[in-house]
Amino acid sequence: MVIFGVALLAICLLVGVILGELLGLAIGIDANVGGVGLAMVMLILIVDYLKKRNKLSKPSQEGLGFWSSMYIPIVIAMSANQNVYGALDGGPLAIAAGVAAVIVSWILVPIISRGGNSRFDDEDENIDVEGGETDVRSAN
């Protein structure tokens, strides 16, 4: 049933957020420490485990898939209720930070992809480039 997938997602989020709160308490900051990230790792591992044993029915996956595809729309709603009017002064800061981050990342790409571990280097030559048939622009 669809609700099983949605419930699995809800349980992962709740457990992750509870762990995040406890972690925050443990290290003495009044914040949720990576609860969302913990929930994501949990979901990846659980889905992997269930899929391998064929325990995750198609409707359950659809329940997960629906909320996964609602990610961009929710981000758009999120951007629509931000204090843009009050933050206009910060515009140049945002542009400077965004541009600088991309340039730094571009510089790092050749450095890191050359300095990788050798085992992956060996395999790399034999990897067939597959996929990319789907139109990523229309998939959300």
Partner 1 sequence: MYEALTNVFTSNGLIVSFAIVGITMYIAYFLSDKLTKGRLHGSAIAIILGLVLAYMGGATTGGSQGLADISIFAGIGLMGGGMLRDFAIVATAFGASFEEIKKAGVTGVLSLFIGVSASFAVGVIIALSFGYTDAVSLTTIGAGTATYIVGPVAGTALGASSEVITISIAAGLVKSIITMIGTPFIAKYIGLNNPRSAMVYGGLIGSTSGVAGGLAATDPKLVPYGAVTATFYTGLGCLLAPSILFLTTKAIFG
Between 54 and 83, CB nearer to partner 1: 83
Tokens at 38, concatenated: 């913990």
Q: Does 7 bind partner 1 (CB under 8 A)?
A: no
CA distances from 124 to 8, 94, 115, 127, 137 (A): 36, 37, 13, 5, 27
Interacting residues with partner 1 between 78 and 97 (CB under 8 A):
78-97
Q: Does 13 bind partner 1 (CB under 8 A)?
A: yes
Quote the least distance from Cβ 135 to partner 1, whole Å: 8
Query: Tokens 């409707």 label which residue?
Result: 59
Q: How far apart are the first and last CA of the chain?
A: 24
Q: Which of 2, 4, 18, 40 binds partner 1 (CB under 8 A)?
A: 40
Q: Does 73 bind partner 1 (CB under 8 A)?
A: yes
Q: Does 17 bind partner 1 (CB under 8 A)?
A: yes
Q: Where are the beta strands (DSSP E) in 1-140?
A: none
Q: Which of 3, 25, 59, 68 binds partner 1 (CB under 8 A)?
A: 68
- Which residue type does 42 have? M
User: How far is 21 from 28, CA to CA, in rounded Å?
Assistant: 10
Q: Does 59 bind partner 1 (CB under 8 A)?
A: no
Quote the least distance from Cβ 139 to partner 1, whole Å: 9
> Residue 39 contacts by C-beta under 8 Å, 6 or more apart in sequence?
12, 13, 15, 16, 17
Q: Does 3 bind partner 1 (CB under 8 A)?
A: no
Q: Does 22 bind partner 1 (CB under 8 A)?
A: no
